[in-house]
Amino acid sequence: MVLRALLLCIAVVTVAEGKEWKCEDVTAINNPTCFGNITWAMETGVVENATWYPPSTTTRADFQCALFLKVGKAEGEGHSCVLPPCTPPTDNMTSKGNAALEKSVHDNCYAPKEWKCEDYTAISNPYCFDNITWAMETGIVENATWYPSHTTTRADFQCALFMKKGKTPGESHTCALPPCTPPTEDMTSKGGAAFLKSVKANCFGPEEASFPWWGWVLVALGVLTLAVIGALVFMQKPKPKKKRALKPAPVETKSEPLPTYKPVLTSMVYR
């Protein structure tokens, strides 16, 4: 019973830590309030003040993402758009360059993808390897704005070239994957050119969910409960059973037939 309760506590903690991706393409039927506010933002809001929205916000999915990013900042600011769109926003839609937009489009409006990485070498990908070397020795000297701030190590430069993937054909120089070696901690695209993608969102693997302190408390309580119950069971020695008096074994008796007598006639002589 206690073991089952302990396992249940651990299961609840594990589920609580997991983050499930939820999205919805809002329509006039499933969420008319959000849908109406998206329409207003597309037709009026962006015209009145474009700084309310991330640059390159154009499609309906973009505007739903933009309103969703406002959730939690002030009551009602998300305008009932409580989920990001399932349809991915425009590739070049970004929150960079707008101080009022603290949340990242990439981190909040794109479904999490499987993490793949590779530390390129002169053997595994010689073309990317050579371009990393060129960037480290020549590119950064000619024009530092091509790269995020504090780009120093080989992993940093592989990350920098990888982040150019998709902007212009061949611009990533076949560096099609981010490095498995984490980039420098203070390497950042903030304050740099608008075309620079987020280092954290693109070149760091997903963080493993840490077991929360209250989870360990539940586990400790469960173990302690088991120990107390075990001690109580051990201390309660079973009472000796009373011995029942043994009944004497029945004596076996034999029944013998009674003897039979035959009468004997004798003649009496009188003298």
Cβ atoms of 117 and 107 closer than 8 Å: no
The tokens describing 156, both together, are: 């940093």
3-state secondary structure of 220: helix
Are 201 and 106 in contact by the 8 Å Cβ rule? The answer is: yes
Structure token digits, residue 23: 């999205």
Q: Encode pLDDT of 172-217 as tens digits.
A: 888 989 999 999 988 988 777 766 778 888 888 766 444 455 566 6
Contact 177, 162 (CB under 8 A): yes
Instruction: Decide which of 229 and 193 is more confident.
Output: 229
Band the pLDDT of 22: cuts 50, 70, 90.
confident
SS3 of 161-186: HHCCCCCCCCCCCCCCCCCCCCCCCC
Give me the mean pLDDT over the 242-265 stretch.
Answer: 67
pLDDT of 5: 43
What is the domain partition of the chain in residue ranges?
21-109, 126-203
How far apart CA 105 and CA 128 sit, in angstroms, is 28
Q: How many CB atoms lie within 10 A of CB 77?
A: 12
Of residues 111 and 156, the one with the higher pLDDT is 156
Residue for token pair 């900042």: 73
CA distance 264 to 260: 13
pLDDT digits (tens, 9 = 90+) for 78-130: 788 999 998 888 888 887 766 556 677 877 888 777 778 899 999 999 999 99
Per mean pLDDT, which range of 41-45, 193-197, 258-262 is the poorest? 258-262
Rounded to the nearest 10 degrees, the angle between the axes of helix 2-17 and helix 213-235 is 180
Nearest of 227, 114, 90 to residue 178 by alpha carbon = 114
| DSSP letter for each residue of 122-154 | TTT-HHHHHHHHHIIIIIHHH-GGGS-BT--SH
CB atoms within 10 A of CB 178: 25
The percent of residues in the chain predicted with pLDDT above 90, rounded, is 30
49 or 195, greater pLDDT:
49
- Supply the mean pLDDT for the chain: 78
For 8, 180, 214, 218, the CA distances from 14, given in Å and listed in that order, are 10, 26, 12, 12
pLDDT given for residue 8 in this prediction? 39
Tell me the three state secondary structure of residue 188: strand
Does pLDDT of 145 surpass 70? Answer: yes
pTM: 0.42
User: For 221, phi and psi rounded to 5 degrees?
Assistant: -60, -40
